[in-house]
Each structure stands twice: as C-alpha cells, then as structure tokens.
Structure 1
Amino acid sequence: MRIGVIDIGSNSIKLLVAETGSTLAALYQTTLETRISAGISKDQPVLSQTAIKAATEAVVKLVGEASRFSPESFAIVATSAVRDAVNRKEFVQHIEDATGHRLRVLSGEEEAAYIGRAITTDPALATYPAFTLCDLGGGSMEFIRLENGAITEKVSLQLGAVRLLERFVNDPAAPLPARTAARIADYVRAKVAESGFSGLKNQHTLAATGGAFNVARAVRASWLGRSYTETSSVITVNYLRYLSEELSAATLLERQRIPELPDARADIMPVACVILLTVAELAGTDHFVHSLHNLRYGIAAEAGGA
C-alpha cells in the first residue's frame, strides 16, 4: 500500500510518501521549516493567524507534492504546538477545509507510541535487542523504551526546544549565558525525574530522532567536508559538547552563517544542545545513534501493516 503522511510539528511540517507491506520503503520525503509554536510556553498558548495561514499553505503544498505519487491512503497529524493551543479547533478546521483531509491531533501518549513504532522500521537498529529512544521536538520530548521490538515504557514531556527557549532565554539573538544553560539543564533533570520514566538509567546507547539531531549531523558533515549520508549516524557527546560551546558563544547572526544550520533553527539550537547533553548525562552514555525513522514512519507503518 502506498501511504502519504504529513506531520505538523512545532518547528516544521514534514511529508513522507512510503510503500508499505512486509517492510516500509520511503519513496519521497521533504520538510518545510514552518514554525507555528510561538508562545507555546504560555499557560494558554494561542496559534496566531499568521501561523495558521503559514501552516495551511505549507500543508496544501505538501498535499500537492504527495499527489504526484498517487497514495492510496493519506494521513495528516499534528503534535505538541496544536494539541496545547486553546484555538486548536480553529486550526484543525482551516487545514481540513483547505485540503479535504481529516487532521488528527495526537495526544502525547499517541505521539510517543507512533515514534516507538517508527523506530522498529529502521534496519540499522535491528541489531539492538533493547534500547531507549529520545525524540526532541519544538514543543515536547518523548522517551520510548523498546525491548525486542516492543514498547515497554513511554512518556511525553513538555521539554521541547522552542518551549524551553521561550521559558528561559531573554534574548535569543545574543550568546547563550552559561547560567541560563545551567538553569535549562536543571529544569530538564527535574522534569525527567518527576516523570518517573525509568528507561533512561544506565543506557549506554540511546537512539535519537528529531530536527536537532538532523541539524547536528548536517553541520558535522559540512565541517568534515562530507555529504550527509556519508557521515556516521553516531553522534558523540564530545561532538555535541563542542557544538554546544560553539553555538552558545555565537550571536544569532553568527549562527545563521554556519553552513547547514537553517536560519529558522539558529535560535533554538543552543538550547537543543543543552537539552541533549543533559539527557546523555542522565543516561550515562557517550553517544546517540541517529535515525531518520521518525513519527511519520510510525503512522505509515501502522496504517500499512509494515
């Protein structure tokens, strides 16, 4: 079965067209950097009219791109930024009216479950009988523990990079002060502890998905003079620490000049690095194994039985 999936995230809107059966094969995928999550850290976040318009235009564009592959089934889902918004019904109506497709807003539990399902379709991780996955988004961060391909524990926490940027950073255009980074790290430690998630302890290998990992890998590839696909999927803590120091010391304008660092993510990457380094510290690991099999793959796999 040929399936199209659009994932409306906090930072970007992504499309996957895949062929499913006994396995899942990606035919086409693309991402539009469309941040809709401004104000997500507020007690009652509201999606602005500008964000609704931009997201609607992006989704319509992606539906058009997907139609070239004639998918037999189509799904549009939204995550943290939409589910937390007080005007989510208005957003859903705009998308559905513009596309003719139903928009499903996932709960945090559903999002974590689909991400867990997605990672089981990555053959690169098939050799690991048990591992924990970290998925960092703009609004939330999910942890999923898998053992022999089955999810044994999962949690979705409001620890996304945009959310913590808004909560802790006074001036995103300036370098990230060390004291602010320390406050972010303390907050992540406290929230993970409060969650009761036990699958992060003593995890020497963490699987990883999400835009921050994509950017970190792409920047490393550029620095090494290699293509993205030629660069190892293993992202070491030493590299993340170096990247964090470089980005935190730079202004927004300086970050925007770094090759392969999208302008739209230049403000959040210092915060994302702090979050990821804190997660690695809590797990006691010295590396992440990056996977491109994210939420969209889980939706497609579930719908197509892969």
Structure 2
Amino acid sequence: MNKCVAIIDIGTNSIKLLVANQERTLLDTIRGSRIGEGIAQKKFIISKPIIERNIQAIHELLNEAEAFKPDHVIITGTSAVRDAENSKEFCQEVKKATGYDVRVLSGEEEATIIAKGVATDPNVEAFNEFCHFDLGGGSLECIHYQNQPESRVLFAESYPLGIVRLTEKFITNPAIKIPQKELLRVQDFIEEELPNFPIKNLPLVATGGGLSTTKNILKTGPILHLNDLEDLLNILSNITVEERIAVYQIPTFRADVMPTALMIIITLAKKANAKSIIHSSFNLRYGLAEEYFRSTS
C-alpha cells in the first residue's frame, strides 16, 4: 500500500508543509510565521501573539494536507522551538489546538535527519562524497556525507548561525541599506564560530529558504556560482527591503534577512574552498518522510 505522510516543520523563520507518498511529492508549501522573532536575545521567549500566529499557520497547513488524506501527520520543531524558554508551553498549546504532539529535534537529530533527506536527491547520487549545509533561520547544520562504498554520515553538527539569529545580532536595521561593516561582522562571527570548517575540497550541496530564494532571483538551475552570489549580495545590501520585495519578488518574510543569508552562504563557500554550490530541495522534511516510509515498509 502506498502510504501518505504530511510533515509540518516549524522553522525559525517559516513553517513548511510536505505531503508525500512513497512515489512522489504531492504538496510542498510554506507560511512565513517567524516564530524565532527575538531569538538573538539571551532569554528567548515566544510571545503569546507569535504563538497564536504560528498555531493559525499550522491549522491552515493541516487543512491543506487534509485534502490528501494522509495516513500519518508529523509536526516537528527545530532551532527556535528548542531554544525558547517556553518551548514546553508552546508545544502544549499546539497539542491543545490541533491534537498533535510536536517533536522537538535536538541539533544533532536535525542534522542527521537532514542528511537522510538530501541523500534522496537524485542530483547528489553521483557524488562519492559531498559536504552539505542546511541554512535555517535559527541554526546551520553541516554534514559530511559518503555515498560510496556505502551510504553513511561521516560528520553532522548543528551551529547557532541561522539567518534570523545573525540578522538580529549584527544588523541594526535590516529594512534599509546595510552598511558593509555590519555584514563583515556577520562574516567575522562565522569565522570565530567555525575556525576550522569541518569539510573542504568536496562538492558543496546546500538547502534552506535563503538558497531557494537566491536560485529564484538568479533564475539558474541548481548550480549557484560564488561570483554571482557576491554580486547579488552587493545589490541587495544597497537597496531597501521594499525594493528587494518589489524588484526581486523576495517573499516579505525573507526580504529583511536575505543580505545576511547571502553573507553566510558566501563565507561558508569560501571556507569550504568551493567556487559553486549545488542547491537541493531535499531537506529535513524529506528526511522525516524517509524515516516514516522505512518504519512502515
């Protein structure tokens, strides 16, 4: 029997829904809900209005998923949910409102499951080994994956280097033109946190909303070249958030953080000695789907 699963991923900047069966993706959609607003603060608490906003988004996505009559529903929380002082309260509110538990992933679990997702991407099957990073709103996952002689994860780690977190930490006003010195602070902080990038001189694969938005702006295939990324950063950091939305059709919930996203992506590519990045859409949700289908086969 061809099982169907619906997976809702409560990320720091957005909530995503994947509905899939064992043969294909049926629905992949997103809501900009930014549960991680304030995540850079020492004591991060999800406010009641933000809890309500995110529960509303979850309800909307559950309603969309219902059209496919999924056999199973998974709701998961990542960086912002695990870091929040009131994480337990948020999960209880979601349970009360929807009837579903929230599976809060540790950083290590998140990285490992992302690795399972990207490993299902046909575009990476030809690589004997590759480096992969997933750039989210709250965290960055770095993974060293080996396909041959057998598929296995050699390294998987999560770092608090997400685009919302670093925007809040270093960018004074992300709605206006961003001073170069503030973007350099982002770069310097990554250098401090990752003095020795764990994987170098391998194909570099990347997932995350900042990557997919970049690909849409550049109108390229899955290959993103470093010089194009640097040019785009120069453009987006020198215009206002309104111009980023109007001229480049960047979603409202990403327009303020895109310069930071590009600075992180560029810094990681340079640390990995990569001149280009291969974008993949096979992410955490695909890893969770892979786990589910394996458990039911």
What TM-score does the superposition give when structure 2 sets the normalisation length? 0.95
CA distance in 1 between counterparts of 2:240 and 2:276 reads 27
Corresponding residue SS for 1:151: strand
Deviation string 1:167-223 (CA, Å, 9 cap, x unpaired) is 111111221111111111011011112xx6522x223x21010000010011112xx
Q: How does 1:1-306 map to 2 (within 5 A)?
A: 1-20=3-22, 25-148=24-147, 149-193=151-195, 198-199=198-199, 201-203=200-202, 205-221=203-219, 231-305=220-294
Amino acid at match of 1:77: T
Corresponding residue SS for 1:118: helix
CA distance in 2 between counterparts of 1:81 and 1:252 reads 24
CA distance in 2 between counterparts of 1:291 and 1:146 reads 14
Deviation string 1:127-183 (CA, Å, 9 cap, x unpaired) is 111001111011001001101131110110000011001111111122111111111
CA distance in 1 between counterparts of 2:46 and 2:62 reads 22
Structure 1 runs (4+) greater than 4 angstroms displaced: none
Provide the alpha-carbon RMSD of the alignment: 1.2
Corresponding residue SS for 2:51: helix
Q: Assess if the C-alpha contact under 8 Å between 1:109 and 1:155 holds in 2.
A: yes
What TM-score does the superposition give when structure 1 sets the normalisation length? 0.92
Q: CA deviation at 1:241?
A: 0.5
Q: Assess if the C-alpha contact under 8 Å between 2:44 and 2:84 holds in 1.
A: yes
Amino acid at match of 1:250: I
CA distance in 2 between counterparts of 1:165 and 1:252 reads 13
Distance 1:89 1:298, change over 3 A: same
Q: Assess if the C-alpha contact under 8 Å between 1:153 and 1:197 holds in 2.
A: no
Residue-pair matches, total: 290
Q: Assess if the C-alpha contact under 8 Å between 1:133 and 1:145 holds in 2.
A: yes
Deviation string 1:24-80 (CA, Å, 9 cap, x unpaired) is 521111111111111101111011111101110111111111111111111000100
Q: Which residue of 2 aligns with 1:227?
A: none
CA distance in 1 between counterparts of 2:255 and 2:6 reads 29
Structure 1: gaps spanning 5 or more residues: 222-230
CA distance in 2 between counterparts of 1:198 and 1:239 reads 25
Q: Percent identity?
A: 40
